[in-house]
Structure 1
Amino acid sequence: MAELSNARVLMIATDGFEESELMKPRQALIDAGVKVTLASLKPDPIQGEKGGEKGATITPDMTVEDVDTEDYDALVLPGGVGNPDKLRMDETTVDLVQEFFDDGKTVAAICHAPWLLVEADVLDGKRATGWPSVRTDMENAGADVVDEEVVVDGNLITSRNPDDIPAFIDAIKAALVKETADA
């Protein structure tokens, strides 16, 4: 996919990210030629989880404090329980989610990551999905919540769980093709 060689994606994660939901989309996007940057709350390596057990670690490229949304075409938010729960308490991260959304850029969230969308108050009137335990929060934030592997509503992409990763990746790639073609 040569058309993705100019695409730039920001991923935001911290300790407690679901390993497959960060690593698989990240690698698929890199393999497609996308420049992927990982930001976190601190510059130290972050610890993933895999099936509730400790998983791989990865070192962020930068902190959320150093992010300029103008440098990116899209934002990808992996799940895990602890990851979005910590991130939604960080004002800078929540502001970044709002800024990407307000700028009309693609925002993709999987599993528990829609908690960040709830916190950023960007779900009202949107069709979306997520992990079953976050769906009530999403509905309370005004989303039309459905149970589908991937939901695309304008610039918003959501998925339910690790089994949905292939569809999640395909939706992100399709959005990036459109995003970079419009640029």
Structure 2
Amino acid sequence: MAVENARIAPFINKEFTVTSAQPYRQDGVTLHGGLDISTGSNDPVYSMVNGRVLYSQWNTGGYGNCIITQDMTTGDSFLYAHLRDLPLKRVGDSVVVGEQLGIEGTTGTSTGIHLHVEWQQLNPGNAWDWNIPYIDRPHVADFMGITNVAGTRAIYNGEPPVPPTPGSRRKTHFKWVLYANKLREKRNVKFM
């Protein structure tokens, strides 16, 4: 299998492998809330957004040492989990694309060295939503520009990313909701 060139990734100039896809693991039955990727060693983990840190600590829910960053313009937010040590940045700190956040590890509920990455599309400034069903989460592989299949190998060269292709972003409202909102604004009518 050829090595894909990622649009962006939390590893720079280091080949990595998708070890568990999203939203289903290799068995095709078990749901998985993010994308597991691994370089096979304890390599530096870098931010995929310019923004700030929303969360940075040990997580008792199985993520181990983890950090969440948010792009304050787009709201794109990423959770990086199973870091070897506590993250290098603290809540409220600014981050830029390519800035080191920690080291790939195997803390929390983990079976080997890897990085678990999740993506949420929030309004800038909103907190991470821990309750979004796994099946409804946007696919990290789409943001990274790689194939969402276990065994995929990729590398990111560290160059500034090109914006994601149209269609890789999910619409946050059904058309009828958008239409109802438009009517409400025009008529100043409240729908119950």
TM-score over 0.5 (shorter chain)? no
Q: Which has the higher helix share?
A: 1
**TM-score, length basis structure 2:** 0.27
**TM-score, length basis structure 1:** 0.28
Using CA pairs below 8 Å that are at least 6 residues apart, which structure has the higher relative contact order?
2
